[in-house]
Structure 1
Amino acid sequence: MTSLRRQSLTTKLGILFALVAIVTFAGVGTYLYKSLSVKLEWRDDQELIGKISVMRHLAAEKDSIADIQRDPHSFRDAAASHDNLILLLKNQTGAVVLHMNEEQGGVPTIPLIPLNSEVNENSIKMIDTTAGLTARAIGAQGRTRNGDIVELIVARTTSDRMRLLKSYYIEVWLASICGTLIAALSGFILARRSLLPIRSMANKAKSITAHRLDTHLDTSSVPQELSELVLAFNEMMDRLNGSFQRLNQFSADLAHDFRTPLNNLMLQTQVALSKARSVEDYQALLDSNIEEYERLSHMVDNMLFLARAENTHIVLKKKSLSCDEELSKIAEYFEGIADEAGLSIEIHATGNIYADPILLRRAMHNLVANAIKHASANSVIQIMTVTENNQTILKVKNQGNAIAADHIEHLFDRFYRVDSARSNAATSTGLGLAIVRSIMNLHNGSVKVSCSHDGITSFDLCFPKEGD
């Protein structure tokens, strides 16, 4: 079985086709053989019934048993057309009056059909003659004109029928073997031709490299049964190509974002070491370096969080939270920062939300910090809740410069920044919104962003209801 599993699909189909063919041919041949055997047996039985009825009639036309002995020709003529037919006539004392085809052997005693009983198939018996031949026999009583009782036995050996059946049996198996070979060869050829599209797909798939992930298989050249497989393969290649492109972009962005603080550290340190400095200068250098180290540490922490979130290594501890209470805490935390920027924060929250409190606060902190960073002076940042479509939606709105439509779909990509007017590379890692999206994915929710023409930007966190 293991070796069969390792064979090619063409070989498997050929072998299975051969097995089906031999079972089919053997089944049909066996059925025909049995059918022929039953029909031949039925014909023999009908012939025996006819012969015993004729013998009864011939006996009834004779005057006596002595008349039969003197002139047995009518009986002999009735049985002469069958070489394997045994005819035995006895008188009431059991003495043999006539025995045709004695070379076939004697017939043992069998029950006789009484004079007034009809002959039927149930009276036929299977016997063995004294010559060792198998025969089917029937016996009946007959009467002459003067009332003499005659015992009539007609038997037919099965030698001719068995020879016919044996010949037919051999022909059936020869036909089955030849039919199986032809069917197996035809099945192998047809399977090989039918699987050509798969070989073509395999050859094309072999040509795909990391630089050709945009290659697609042609769905028009494959059978309908393989079209879903080809479509799934093409979709997989699209996902791989997209992931590969994002990975390349992520590597480039990561190198760029790490290079800036590292260059700052190297440059500041080289300048400080170029000549003797005062203690105050070295302290200022160390303070500046600590800021860069903190930024690098923050970036590494964010990247580790994203890696764990994407591999579902973060265990959520969801609970029902008061929206007003949670959002008020967040507004209170950012109140001093907002005042320094000339902004105010408004809360419009009702109901509860089912979420992990730590991750919810982290996502909201990122959005509110982002809103403060990009809001226009003397504007209001609104934090509110909305319930719709069996979801609880947290909204963070701010008034600022409008975001171009071609940037909106990339806002949640790692290290993505719109322009220098909306980002500060010195303080932003470019991972905040990516973290927000990962947190929402962990909650089986979603995050959306919209921007109106008048510059009102809204980030929406959509949480499913408890139990969904």
Structure 2
Amino acid sequence: MKLAAPRSLTMRLALLFALVTLSTFTIVGTYLYYSLAQQLDAHDDQELLGKISLMRHLVEKANSIEAIRANPHAFMDATLGHNDLLLILKTADGAQLLATRPSAGTLPLLPISATDRTPNQTSRLNLTTSSGLPVRATAIWGVIELTGERVRIIVAHDTSDSLSMLARYSQQILGAALSGALVAALLGYILVRRGLRPTRSIAKQAQSITAQRLDQALDVASAPEELQQLVVAFNSMLNRLHDSFQRLSQFSADLAHDLRTPINNLMVQTQVALAQPRTSDEYQGLLESNTEEYERLARMLDNMLFLARADHAHVAVAREQLDCGSELQRIADYFEGVAEDAGVRLTVYAHGSVSADPMLLRRAVSNLVANAIRYTPAGHAIRLQAGPADGVTNISVGNPGPAIEPSAIPRLFDRFYRGDQARSDSASSTGLGLAIVQSIMKLHDGQVEVVRTPDQMTVFSLSFPNR
């Protein structure tokens, strides 16, 4: 069964501390264990080499093999005080001459070093006797100087005590590692819990923020340095939410205002007409007036539906490579009659091409031209321009109308937003035209900007990225 990871950050860090401590102690303990084992082997090897050199010397000075067999006391005296030492002497054909501890059992066959050689590392082995006794043993040839007879000299050291000590040492290391891990987990839990105290303070501050208190920011100074960036990002998110909430509130108020006006007109006109009998011409005039209000409501609902679909990317963008001059001239021709009635002229200066959806491009530019006609004094010209610049194609609509108040520019592309001068003519403006322009540019991954040029022109620029 798979264990679920603890959800508490404090518990996770405490367990990580314990794991790191256990791993560190295990690595250090393993190093110390093998270091001690090597030191014990080195100590045993020194004793083995010393004893086997002594035995080789005794063999060299012996009279004969028979003399060794008849009087082995010189060899046995050399092992006195070394109860953990085993000495075995054998003839060249394997007949045993001497065994100091027969009860220890026999040894496996060992590699034998030459007479003039010191047993090397490969000839000193850890073995187990036939009785189960662990030993470290080595063997060498000895030659009797008088007779030239060869004797196998085998010396072994009982390693039972060393192995027992290593076993106890490994248990102590394991116990120390587990105890250290437990202490590290406990101390880590306490320290992490104290260290995360500022996060609980931040959480408490965040809990006090409601929809009516989105302007209340978290205290950055009280947060640890590692969390300050997170707190700043959270405050930025609160600012965006607060701004969006205010825009939504203003949008609701503007929507109610713009819907109430045509509905009130329809209701009042209808009530007046029904107050007394009317002629058919009067009823026909009422229906014509009501039709205008219905058309206004239909345009408003159509624009709102377009914006809602654009926000959710449900508007299909069919990009084509369009000639800027042809498209702007088409729009200028469409608005020619309206411009003449307003006493203004439309001029086109365009070259190059643009990658855009034809219908959406025409709708965006048409909204800008309609606004420009509304605010351009009679006798002046509206300038439509287009051309490539730095990886984009700019299409701009400029008019010499009154300057836009700087305070109004940040909200200029909000839905239902209109300046005071425009609101007086709310029958001809729904306040959604510039919002639609901005949505169309977002669908094209472009942007819309408004600037006031030195020659007193208000210029709206559409930047379409080249594809």
**Normalised TM-score (structure 2):** 0.91
Which residue in 1 is equivalent to 2:333?
332
Q: Specify the SS of the correspondent of 2:18.
A: helix
Structure 2: which amino acid aligns with 1:349? A
Structure 2: which amino acid aligns with 1:464? P
Query: Which segment drifts farther, 272-281 or 93-102?
Result: 93-102
Q: Specify the SS of the correspondent of 2:255.
A: helix
Q: Specify the SS of the correspondent of 1:385.
A: strand
Q: Deviations over 1:427-451 (max 9, x none)?
A: 2111111111111121122222223
Whether the 8 Å contact between 1:49 and 1:120 is mirrored in structure 2 is no
- In structure 2, the CA distance between the partners of 1:130 and 1:369, relative to structure 1 (3 Å rule), is closer
Gaps of 5+ in 1: none
Q: Specify the SS of the correspondent of 2:421.
A: coil
Partner Cα separation in structure 1 for residue 387 and residue 192 of structure 2: 60
Q: Deviations over 1:139-178 (max 9, x none)?
A: 3333445335544322222211111111112111111111
Q: Deviations over 1:312-352 (max 9, x none)?
A: 11111111112221111111111111112222222222222
- In structure 2, the CA distance between the partners of 1:264 and 1:172, relative to structure 1 (3 Å rule), is same
Alignment coverage as a number of residue pairs: 466
Shift of 1:200: 2.3
Query: Which segment drifts farther, 67-76 or 311-320?
Result: 67-76
Q: Deviations over 1:217-236 (max 9, x none)?
A: 23333344433322322222
**Normalised TM-score (structure 1):** 0.91
Whether the 8 Å contact between 2:25 and 2:177 is mirrored in structure 1 is yes
Partner Cα separation in structure 2 for residue 89 and residue 312 of structure 1: 97
Partner Cα separation in structure 1 for residue 42 and residue 267 of structure 2: 109
Which residue in 2 is equivalent to 1:85?
85
1:217 aligns with 2:222: no
Which residue in 1 is equivalent to 2:59?
59
Whether the 8 Å contact between 1:349 and 1:385 is mirrored in structure 2 is yes
- In structure 2, the CA distance between the partners of 1:297 and 1:72, relative to structure 1 (3 Å rule), is same
Query: Which segment drifts farther, 248-257 or 126-135?
Result: 126-135
- In structure 2, the CA distance between the partners of 1:68 and 1:434, relative to structure 1 (3 Å rule), is same
Residues 106-185 of structure 1: pairs in structure 2 closer than 5 A: 106-107=106-107, 110=110, 112-144=112-144, 146-147=146-147, 149-185=150-186
Shift of 1:364: 1.5
- In structure 2, the CA distance between the partners of 1:121 and 1:351, relative to structure 1 (3 Å rule), is closer
Q: Percent of counterpart pairs with the same letter?
A: 50
Shift of 1:305: 0.8
Which residue in 1 is equivalent to 2:288?
287
Residues 263-278 of structure 1: pairs in structure 2 closer than 5 A: 263-278=264-279
Q: Deviations over 1:232-275 (max 9, x none)?
A: 22222121111111100100110111111111111111222222
Partner Cα separation in structure 2 for residue 399 and residue 111 of structure 1: 110
Q: Specify the SS of the correspondent of 1:400.
A: coil
Residues 394-409 of structure 1: pairs in structure 2 closer than 5 A: 394-409=395-410
Partner Cα separation in structure 2 for residue 137 and residue 202 of structure 1: 70
Which residue in 2 is equivalent to 1:242?
243
Gaps of 5+ in 2: none
Q: Specify the SS of the correspondent of 2:140.
A: strand
Structure 1: which amino acid aligns with 2:384? I
Structure 2: which amino acid aligns with 1:286? L
Structure 2: which amino acid aligns with 1:79? T
Partner Cα separation in structure 1 for residue 164 and residue 62 of structure 2: 38
Query: Which segment drifts farther, 127-136 or 93-102?
Result: 93-102
Shift of 1:109: 6.0
Which residue in 2 is equivalent to 1:434?
435
CA RMSD after TM alignment:
2.6
